[in-house]
C-alpha cells in the first residue's frame, strides 16, 4: 500500500506536448512526463493518479475528489494559470500541499502570462526547467512531507 497518494493534474493543450511548439515546450510528450512522475513517486513508495483535461470543470471536480484521498497535488494548469479563480478556490479548499509546475518560464513570455492565480494557494512554483520541473515537484513534495514529520 503506498504511503502517499499524489494527484498530478495537467490543464488545457498539454495533451499536445511533443508536437505543440517544441521550441517552447520541448519534444517530450505528456505521457513521457507522466511516466517520469510515476517513476519518481514509485521510488518513494507513492501512488500517482493523473488527469489531463481541457475542461476547467473537470479539473475542479478532480481537485474536489482529491480532498481526503490525495496527500498532495502537482498541477500544471496551462492557460488556466492566469485566470481560473475556480481552480484557485478548489485548490484553496484542498488540505494538502500544492505545487504549481510550468515547462516554460511564464515571466519571460507575453505579459499576460506573468500573473498566476494558482501561485497564492501553492507552496511553490517550479517554472522554466522543462520536464525536469515535474521531477523537481516530486522532490519538493518529498522534502515537504519529510519536514512535516519532524515538526
Give per-residue pLDDT as tens, 94-107: 999 999 999 876 65
Helix (H) or strand (E) holding 8: strand 4-10
Per annotation, catalytic residue among 25, 33, 50, 134: 25
Say which residues have a Cβ less than 8 Å from residue 61's Cβ, sequence separation at least 6: none
How do the domains of the chain map onto residue ranges? Answer: 4-150
Give per-residue pLDDT as tens, 65-98: 999 999 999 999 988 888 899 999 999 999 999 9
Q: Which residue has the cell 515546450?
A: 25
25 is catalytic: yes
Q: Is 132 exposed, middle or buried (0-12, 13-18, 19+ CB in 10 A)?
A: middle
Per annotation, catalytic residue among 82, 102, 114, 134: 102
CATH topology of domain 4-150: Rossmann fold (3.40.50)
- Mean pLDDT across the stretch 2-18? 91
Say which residues have a Cβ less than 8 Å from residue 11's Cβ, sequence separation at least 6: 52, 53, 54, 59, 75, 76, 77, 78, 79, 80, 81
The model's pTM is: 0.90
134 is catalytic: no
- Mean pLDDT across the stretch 118-131? 90
The Cβ-side half-sphere exposure at 72, using a 13 Å CA radius, reads: 25
Amino acid at each position: 500500500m503506498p504511503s502517499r497518494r499524489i494527484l498530478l493534474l495537467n490543464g488545457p493543450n498539454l495533451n499536445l506536448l511533443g508536437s505543440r511548439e517544441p521550441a517552447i515546450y520541448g519534444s517530450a510528450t505528456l505521457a513521457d512526463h507522466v511516466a517520469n512522475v510515476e517513476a519518481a513517486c514509485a521510488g518513494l513508495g507513492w501512488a500517482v493518479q493523473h488527469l489531463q483535461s481541457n475542461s476547467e470543470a473537470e479539473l475542479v471536480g478532480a481537485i474536489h475528489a482529491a480532498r481526503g484521498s490525495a496527500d498532495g497535488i502537482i498541477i500544471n494548469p496551462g492557460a488556466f494559470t492566469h485566470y481560473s479563480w475556480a481552480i484557485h478556490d478548489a485548490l484553496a479548499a484542498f488540505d494538502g500541499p500544492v505545487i504549481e509546475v510550468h515547462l516554460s518560464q511564464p515571466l519571460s513570455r507575453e505579459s499576460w502570462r506573468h500573473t498566476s492565480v494558482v501561485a497564492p494557494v501553492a507552496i511553490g512554483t517550479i517554472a522554466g526547467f522543462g520536464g525536469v520541473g515535474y521531477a523537481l515537484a516530486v522532490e519538493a513534495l518529498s522534502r515537504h512531507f519529510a519536514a512535516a514529520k519532524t515538526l
